[in-house]
Amino acid sequence: MPLHLTFFWWATIGHVLFGVTPVGAANLTEWKPRSIYQTMTDRFARTDGSITAPCNTTEGLYCGGTWRGTIDQLDYIQGMGFDAVMISPIVENVAGRVDYGEAYHGYWPLNLQALNEHFGTHQDLLDLSDALHSRGMYLLMDTVINNMAYMTHGRDPATAIDYSVFTPFNNSDYFHSYCQVTDWNDFTNAQLCQTGDNQTALPDLYTEHQEVQDLLIDWAGTMIKTYSIDGLRIDAAKHVDSGFLHRFVEAVGVFTTGEVFQREIDIICKYQASYIQSMPNYPIYYAMLDAFTQGNTSSLALEVDLIKKACPDVTTLVSFSENHDVARTPSMNSDMALAKNILTFTLLFDGIPMIYQGQEQHLKSSGTPRNREALWLTKYDVESELYRLIATLNAIRRHAYEMGADYLDDETATIYRGGSELGFRKGVEGRQLIMVLSSQGSSQAKPYSVTLPSSYNAGVAVIDVLDCHNYTVSDTGELIVPMEKGEPHVFFPTSLMPGSGLCGWSKSNATLTELKTGSPPSESGVPPSLRIPIWWSRWFCWGVFLVLVTLVAG
């Protein structure tokens, strides 16, 4: 029996015998409130729980991370307030090594119907999925559908590849005939040719062909069912035939975000309009670097505005500032205050945030492969400054949308731009969140203040959730923000803080109505229909209104 059928049977038997209801298969609406932590399985956590096992990133060998290790570190992830985890690709990869290493990252598929045994067993992956779901967290699977991989060790990929080794694509007919991508900005060239190099060829699947399409769609569907996967990231989506990309996304029916590694807003927005609703937000990523590593605030203010106008929906893109393909931001500037500003913007800007493992520990390595550090060497420090900052930012984001899911649909607007300051607002009037960021870094010479001409209504009390200081908007509607040591600020109306779990308020399921009417959060156990303050105040208002109408009419 083919392996994928074996998996399927196990899932079915589990369902029948133990009443396990596979969760999974979440759509875009269900993903929008989520906040994702990106792991690279081999480098995140080991089964033995080691925090000393060496891992030389430039050697590029497997370092021993596993799905079981990931299960054991879910507290670490959840402790930052994340409610989804992306894992690196799960399928069996090519064995062996080239000059720059092995397939530890998972992007060199060999057999789609077997798992990468370095990461664990079928049961381990099921257990990881269950462990996430039992915490109310989602599982996002990174997925390669553009190519397979073959080590040619310098031989010519046009002749050296033995296609019979691939499963299920065991024949050269399933592939484009060999050519190397020569122009990465020519999409036809980039989609028909190979992205690999002369050591590891990445034979390019003939994704225009119906049979290849069907096999990939069936495979993805089986994985989603078997492991109760909630969403997918499509690696190298730009290199997949766009028509197929669209068909694939529709067919798998789960939330899917596709890597289109381009800075140009018009390309990303065209993809969104035509092929795939969600992509990592590369245009904003680059503009963020301009602001916080180059000190160019105009670029970010401009792009925030442009992308909103050009894209069908900027709130479905994935907001990120580091990942396994780009240099870590502290490698460009290691200032701690800048790292805080970057994280604040990443987590509170439009879209679904995704934070790459290690950003919370202020790792400073430059690009691939150095940015794939073994996280265990940081000892999973839950006291680190950025770990705690992320927890606060995830908490206020969650609280803002618990006050109304329209928070997520409301697009960020730039409300202030100075030589080294940026102010952004997101959310519906009256319960908007405002961030004031600085590109100065912690070496900022002396304190000064910034006056926001528009923020909240005059007289409104707000709190900076990052340091718990209270502010009141002046009678003329100005909010005066002290700028010190390059620190970011995040404001929210004080009256809406109960239930947030921040600045001394306990965490509870407060709703906007309750906060506005002053009734206690739902934990009192009183059914909503009997909550006197709400009803009473409504009847009272109506009474006053009727009396007034009568008086005026009379």
Ligand X SMILES: *[C@@H]1O[C@H](CO)[C@@H](O)[C@H](O)[C@H]1NC(C)=O
Please state, in angstroms and rounded to a whole number, the distance separating the CA atoms of residues 319 and 504. Answer: 29
Q: Kindly state whether residue 170 participates in binding ligand X, applying the rule CB under 6 A.
A: yes
Of 25-33, 215-223, 375-383, 529-537, the segment contacting ligand X by CB under 6 A is 25-33
Least distance to ligand X, CB of residue 198, Å:
4
The single residue among 368, 454, 494, 517 that binds ligand X, judged by CB under 6 A, is 494
Backbone angles phi, psi at 112, to 5 degrees: -75, -15
Q: Report if residue 47 touches ligand X, rule: CB under 6 A.
A: no
Other Cβ atoms less than 10 A from the Cβ of 229: the count is: 26
Q: Going residue by residue from 282 to 321, which x/- string records binding to ligand X, judged by CB under 6 A?
A: --------x-----x-xx--x-------------------
Peptide bond into 369 cis (omega under 30): yes
Cβ closest to ligand X, residue 58 vs residue 121: 58
- Nearest residue to 458 (alpha-carbon basis) of 442, 438, 472: 472
Distance of closest approach, residue 297 Cβ to ligand X, in angstroms: 8
- Single out the residue of 358, 325, 359, 324 nearest to residue 340, CA to CA: 359
Cα separations (Å) of 553 from 46, 280, 539? Answer: 78, 60, 21
Q: Tell whether residue 30 is a contact of ligand X (CB under 6 A).
A: yes
Q: Which stretch binds ligand X (CB under 6 A): 53-61, 187-195, 530-538, 541-549?
A: 53-61
Identity at 384, one-letter amino acid code: S
Rounded to a whole number, what is the largest CA-CA distance in the chain? 97
How many residues are listed for the chain in this entry? 554
Selected from 6, 123, 171, 334, the binder of ligand X by CB under 6 A is 171
> Cβ 264 to ligand X, closest distance in Å?
12
Q: Is 235 an annotated catalytic residue?
A: yes
Is-cis flag, bond preceding 533, omega within 30?
Answer: no
Rounded to the nearest 5°, which phi and psi values hold at 267? Answer: -70, -50
Residues in the annotated binding site: 108, 233, 325, 372
Q: How far is the CB of 27 from ligand X (least distance, A)?
A: 4
User: Is residue 365 at the binding interface for ligand X, with CB under 6 A as the rule?
Assistant: no
Provide the mask over 178-197, with x wherever binding to ligand X is found by CB under 6 A and - wherever it is not.
-------------------x
Q: Is 508 in the site for ligand X (CB under 6 A)?
A: yes
Check residue 201 and report its DSSP letter: E
177 binding ligand X? (CB under 6 A)? no
Which residues are annotated as part of the binding site for substrate? 108, 233, 325, 372
Residue among 123, 177, 274, 470 that touches ligand X (CB under 6 A): 470
**Segment interacting with ligand X, rule: CB under 6 A, options 24-32, 118-126, 348-356, 480-488:** 24-32
384 makes contact with ligand X (CB under 6 A): no
DSSP secondary structure string for all residues of 439-508: SS-TT--S-EEEEESSSS-TT-EEEETTTTEEEE--TTS-EEEEE-TT--EEEEEGGG-TBB--TTPPB-
Q: How far apart are CA 56 and CA 48, in angstroms?
A: 18
Rounded to 10°, the helix 282-294/265-274 angle is: 150
164 binds ligand X (CB under 6 A): yes
* Active-site residue flag, 360: no
| Paired strand residues for 425 | 413, 434
Q: How far is the CB of 509 from ligand X (least distance, A)?
A: 4
d(CA 61, CA 66): 14
Identify the active-site residue in 142, 230, 259, 421. 259
Rule CB under 6 A: say whether 457 interacts with ligand X.
Answer: no
**Residue whose CB is less far from ligand X, 67 or 275:** 275
Q: Quote the least distance from Cβ 283 to ligand X, whole Å.
A: 11
Binding residues for ligand X, rule: CB under 6 A, are: 27, 29-30, 56, 58-59, 154, 164, 170-171, 197-198, 290, 296, 298-299, 302, 470, 494, 507-509, 523
The residues annotated as belonging to the active site are 235, 259
